[in-house]
Amino acid sequence: MPSDVWFSPLTDQHDDDDIRAKVGTLFDAAGMAQLLRPRGLVAIKVHFGELDNHNFVKPRLLASLVDRIEQAGGKPFWTDTNTLYLGQRSNAVDHIKLAESHGFTVAATGVPVVIADGLTGRGEVRVPVPGKHSQEVGIAPAVAEAAALVVISHATGHLVAGFGGAIKNLGMGLSSRKGKLYQHSVVKPRVDADICIGCRTCIAWCPTGAITMHGEHAHIDPEACIGCGECLASCQIGAVRFQWRMASRGLQERMAEQAAGVAARLEGRIGYLTFVMDVGKDCDCLASNPADVLIRRAGILASLDPVALDQASLDLIERHLGRPLRAAAYDIDFEPQLQAAEALGLGSREYRLVEVEG
């Protein structure tokens, strides 16, 4: 049976006030207030945007969401988990400072930031799942303990998964550090010595010291590598290579299992909103140039079904692009995450699009 996905279109003529109104309307249309409990703690999963990223969903656009949650009696908090890679979000102290620099402050929003997996990302709650690769996954404690969850996703391309939307935001974004390691463990990069120029940039970015110099070229120790992908992102000449097809499929399937763990823990208490605006080739973990976006404005979508929401988001992106996302971003098959999530009972790829006025 098709799942409902509510949609409000966006154009360059819509300003911040218009977007805030659309968010509130979509929250109402999807019936998200019914998911909340009086005085319950409500996690709002966002991506705070890495340093020098400009495309993340800004907190000022979510003011109506905060208002709706508080009007329903909920107590919202902004949340995300720490990263595997060495950046500004690898521990809670730096993560909160970065979030505040991007506008996620109590003074500006009335909502505090809580890093869901603790100071260094070691917090974890284990949840059983009927997975292909695992029968149990680790999710972030602050989300596991919340009364409800609203997942705010920014649809983008992704250098390993091909596409990042609600499934990725739920699965990779809310997993414990061990859960992230488990997902990335299938991604084992190598350095092409014929291309490597020995600049050592990848060595500086590797969080585990898995990369060393062998003569004039970098070398990755597969035993020490955790598959975080920082070497791929930092190498500007394309010397770092992955076995894309095998690695990406395994990561996406495990990501869907992690997402299923979060959904099982908060069954019937999760709502999803996805912004298809400022869509880039890369996710918000990387620096961005606003001039390089693939799609400036397309719309905002909402659903209680993350699989239907991702499918609708992808269809909207490809209609606006006029070509497959794989041709515009990374040539990676992102079907495995949708297939695996649907097989796990996370939702349906069939959807009924309902346009609402903002």
Q: What is the pLDDT of residues 133-163, one digit of tens each?
A: 989 999 999 999 999 999 999 999 998 899 9
Give how many domains the chain has, as a whole number: 2
Residues 122 and 31 placed together within one structural domain of the fold: yes
Is the pLDDT confidence value at 183 over 90?
A: no
Cβ atoms within 10 Å of 241's Cβ, excluding its own: 14
pLDDT of residue 243: 61
Work out the pLDDT band at 210, boundaries 50, 70, 90. very high
pLDDT of residue 242: 66
Q: What is the CA radius of gyration of the chain?
A: 19
**For the purposes of burial, counting CB atoms within 10 Å of the CB of 39, is it exposed (0-12), middle (13-18) or buried (19 or more)?**
exposed
Residues 27 and 51 placed together within one structural domain of the fold: yes
Give the pLDDT mean for 177-188. 80
- The Cα-based distances of 241 to 159, 279, 334 in angstroms read 11, 25, 18
Is the pLDDT confidence value at 257 over 80?
A: yes
Domain-located, residue 249? no
pLDDT of residue 187: 72
Domain that holds residue 160: 3-184+262-355
* pTM: predicted TM-score of the whole model, two decimal places: 0.88
Residue 54 CA to residue 229 CA, distance in Å, equals: 21
Residue 94 CA to residue 307 CA, distance in Å, equals: 32
Work out the pLDDT band at 211, boundaries 50, 70, 90. very high
* Per-state percent for the chain, helix, strand, coil, to nearest 5: 35, 20, 40
Alpha helices in the chain (DSSP H): 16-29, 63-71, 92-101, 106-109, 141-144, 166-171, 177-184, 201-205, 230-234, 244-265, 306-321, 325-328, 335-343
Residues 57 and 136 placed together within one structural domain of the fold: yes
pLDDT of residue 42: 98
CA 59 from chain centre, in angstroms, equals 16
Is the pLDDT confidence value at 227 over 80?
A: no
What pLDDT, in 10s, does the model give residues 64-75?
999 999 999 999
Domain-located, residue 294? yes
Give the pLDDT mean for 86-91. 84
pLDDT of residue 35: 96
Residues 174 and 227 placed together within one structural domain of the fold: no
Both tokens of 199, joined, read 């600049």
pLDDT of residue 357: 82
Work out the pLDDT band at 222, boundaries 50, 70, 90. confident
Residues 123 and 173 placed together within one structural domain of the fold: yes
% of the chain residues with pLDDT over 90: 81
CATH number, position 222: 3.30.70.20
Highest mean pLDDT among 10-24, 181-195, 278-292 belongs to: 10-24
pLDDT of residue 228: 74
Residues 171 and 227 placed together within one structural domain of the fold: no
Give the pLDDT mean for 195-212. 93
Give the pLDDT mean for 18-41. 97
Domain-located, residue 246? no
CATH number, position 59: 3.40.50.11440
Residues 90 and 179 placed together within one structural domain of the fold: yes
Residues 180 and 198 placed together within one structural domain of the fold: no
Domain-located, residue 313? yes
Domain-located, residue 285? yes
DSSP β-ladder status, 3-9 and 295-303: antiparallel
Q: Which segment of 36-40, 83-87, 204-208 scores lowest on mean pLDDT? A: 83-87
What pLDDT, in 10s, does the model give residues 297-349?
999 999 999 999 999 999 999 999 999 999 999 999 999 999 999 999 999 99
State the helix-helix crossing angle for 244-265 and 177-184, rounded to 10 degrees. Answer: 150
Residues 63 and 210 placed together within one structural domain of the fold: no
Domain-located, residue 32? yes
Question: Who contacts 22 (Cβ-Cβ below 8 Å, separation ≥6)?
Answer: 8, 10, 14, 300, 358
Give the pLDDT mean for 234-263. 86
355 and 8 in contact (C-beta within 8 Å)? yes
Residues 120 and 208 placed together within one structural domain of the fold: no
What pLDDT, in 10s, does the model give residues 14-25?
999 999 999 999
Residues 147 and 295 placed together within one structural domain of the fold: yes
149 and 157 in contact (C-beta within 8 Å)? no
HSE at residue 105, side-chain half, CA atoms within 13 A, is 8
Domain-located, residue 255? no
Q: Which residue has the higher pLDDT, 247 or 173?
A: 173
pLDDT of residue 200: 95
pLDDT of residue 244: 55
Is the pLDDT confidence value at 246 over 70?
A: no
Domain-located, residue 251? no
Is the pLDDT confidence value at 245 over 60?
A: no
Residues 235 and 268 placed together within one structural domain of the fold: no
Supply the mean pLDDT for the chain. 93
Give the pLDDT mean for 78-106. 93
